[in-house]
């Protein structure tokens, strides 16, 4: 009985030794294939630190900005948009939304430069809100948005006669773009240190309007045209136009002529006008009864400097063979009446020089009786 018990113990010890030997081989050579039934003895790999640590989450919101220059513009003017993020090589989405747009419209995808900013140019026709969006980088920066509204006024063009004689009618015209057919435009004048509504006009189908105004007093009148704000535009204003109303001269010379000569034969005077205003007046000699100075409208077609003699220092030809020139007989200019020439108009040499410097080719010459 004792021998049987001893044999059983010995057999169990032998089996244990075999199992320990197999486990030692597996530990020494991880690539070795363990014996069947030894799966419980396979080593289990420890989990890595990377697998157990959670991925980082964005925690900061960038200071995204969007500015527009100018913030108030006229339709069609260029506006510069600048998006500031402070993060280089970042991608931004730029959209716009105007009155009536159901959703924003994508304009461009921008990439910031080394300074962390991006620029974009637009030409809005109506008041528009621009928005820039940053989606974040998924690691440090959270998404961000910024927007700016550019207020846009219509382009109002206003024209008026720059100079008129007192009592004349002043022509005024207005056009508005984008078109506002049927819209109202208010004409304003500067009175008492403030703009005052003066007259309302209605735009036609072409978005234009005209008006007239009779100038009853001498002076300078600042005028402009204004449109009211609506859903798409802020108030529109034209440039200021200054209308100069002057006292009419007896000859009613064209008011837009830069230089003009009027010879009043009965008064023996030569008058020089510029823009309807008399600048200088000189005594002159005119044609004798047998060779009268011609009456009518002419123009200077030839000019020359003269060293002296009967033509004096300067000569301006306007109607062959008649001319305006200096003289070598200045004492004749002290007489009255002074009709001694062969049809020409004679001046003191100093007056002829002054006139020559201001009467280029093409200058109108009016000889009146």
Question: What confidence tens digit (pLDDT) does each residue in 133-142 have?
Answer: 999 998 999 9
Of 247, 237, 246, 256, which Cα lies nearest the Cα of 190?
A: 237
The pLDDT of residue 37: 40
The pLDDT of residue 59: 80
Give me the domains of the chain, ranges plus CATH numbers: 65-153 (2.60.40.10), 155-246 (2.60.40.10), 260-368 (2.40.440.10)
Question: What confidence tens digit (pLDDT) does each residue in 140-192 have?
Answer: 999 999 999 999 999 999 999 999 999 999 999 999 999 999 999 999 999 99
Query: Is the distance from CB of 273 to CB of 257 less than 8 angstroms?
Result: yes
The pLDDT of residue 55: 61
The pLDDT of residue 268: 97
Question: What confidence tens digit (pLDDT) does each residue in 189-233 have?
Answer: 999 999 999 999 999 999 999 999 998 999 999 999 999 999 999
The pLDDT of residue 34: 40
Query: Average pLDDT for residues 346-352, to the nearest whole number?
Result: 97
How sure is the predictor about 29, in pLDDT bands with cuts at 50, 70 and 90? very low
pLDDT at 36 over 50: no
The pLDDT of residue 68: 98
Question: What confidence tens digit (pLDDT) does each residue in 233-277 have?
Answer: 999 999 999 999 999 999 999 998 999 999 999 999 999 999 999
Query: Average pLDDT for residues 45-74, to the nearest whole number?
Result: 78
3-state secondary structure the chain: CHHHHHHHHHHHHHHHHHHHHHHHHHHHCCCCCCCCCCHHHCCCCCCCHHHHCCCCCCCECCCCEEEEECCEEECCCCEEEEEECCCCCCEEEEEEEECCCCCCEEEEEEECCCCCEEEEEECCCCCEEEEEEECCCCCCECCEEEEEEEEEECEEEEEECCEEECCCEEEEEEEEECCCCCCEEEEEEEECCEEEEEEEEECCCCCEEEEEEECCCCEEEEEEEEECCCCCCCCEECCCEEEEEECCCCCCCCCCCCCEEEEECCCCEEEEEECCEEEEEEECEEECCCCCCCCEEEECCEEEECCCHHHCCEEEEEECCEEEECCCCHHHHHCCCCEEECCCEECCHHHHHHHHCCCCCCCEEEEEC
Let me know if 275 is exposed, middle or buried by CB neighbors in 10 A (0-12, 13-18, 19+).
middle
How sure is the predictor about 308, in pLDDT bands with cuts at 50, 70 and 90? confident
Query: Is the distance from CB of 242 to CB of 161 less than 8 angstroms?
Result: no
Pairing of strands 260-264, 364-368: parallel
The pLDDT of residue 52: 57
The pLDDT of residue 295: 97
The pLDDT of residue 14: 53
pLDDT at 130 over 90: yes
Mean model confidence pLDDT for the chain: 88
């Amino acid at each position: 009985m004792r021998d049987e018990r001893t044999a059983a113990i010995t057999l169990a010890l032998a089996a244990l030794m075999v199992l320990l030997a197999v486990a030692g081989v597996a530990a020494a050579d991880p690539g070795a294939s363990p014996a069947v039934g030894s799966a419980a003895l396979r080593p289990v790999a420890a989990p890595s630190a990377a697998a157990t640590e959670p991925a980082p989450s964005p925690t900061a919101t960038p200071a995204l900005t969007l500015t527009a220059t100018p913030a108030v513009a006229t339709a069609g003017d260029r506006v510069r948009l600048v998006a500031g993020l402070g993060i280089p090589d970042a991608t931004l989405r730029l959209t716009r939304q105007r009155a009536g747009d159901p959703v924003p419209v994508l304009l461009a995808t921008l990439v910031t430069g080394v300074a962390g900013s991006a620029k974009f140019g637009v030409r809005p026709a109506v008041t528009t809100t621009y928005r820039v969006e940053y989606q974040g980088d998924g690691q440090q920066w959270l998404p961000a948005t910024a927007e700016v509204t550019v207020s846009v006024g219509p382009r109002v063009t206003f024209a008026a006669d720059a100079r008129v004689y007192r009592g004349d009618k002043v022509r005024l015209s207005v056009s508005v773009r984008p078109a506002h057919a049927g819209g109202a435009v208010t004409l304003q004048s500067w009175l008492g240190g403030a703009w005052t509504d003066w007259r309302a006009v209605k735009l036609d189908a072409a978005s234009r309007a005209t008006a007239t105004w009779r100038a009853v007093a001498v002076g300078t009148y600042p005028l402009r045209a204004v449109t009211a704000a609506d859903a798409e535009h802020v108030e529109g204003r034209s440039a200021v136009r200054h209308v100069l109303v002057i006292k009419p001269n007896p000859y009613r010379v064209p008011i837009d002529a830069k230089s003009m000569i009027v010879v009043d034969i009965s008064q023996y005077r030569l008058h020089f006008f510029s823009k309807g205003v008399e600048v200088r007046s000189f005594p002159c000699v005119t044609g004798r009864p047998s060779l009268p100075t011609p009456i009518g409208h002419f123009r200077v077609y030839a000019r020359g400097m003269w060293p002296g003699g009967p033509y004096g220092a300067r000569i301006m030809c306007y109607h062959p063979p008649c001319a305006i020139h200096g003289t070598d007989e200045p004492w004749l200019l002290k007489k009255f009446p002074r009709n001694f020439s062969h049809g020409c108009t004679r001046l003191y040499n100093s007056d002829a020089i002054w006139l020559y410097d201001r009467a280029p080719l093409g200058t109108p010459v009016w000889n009146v009786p």
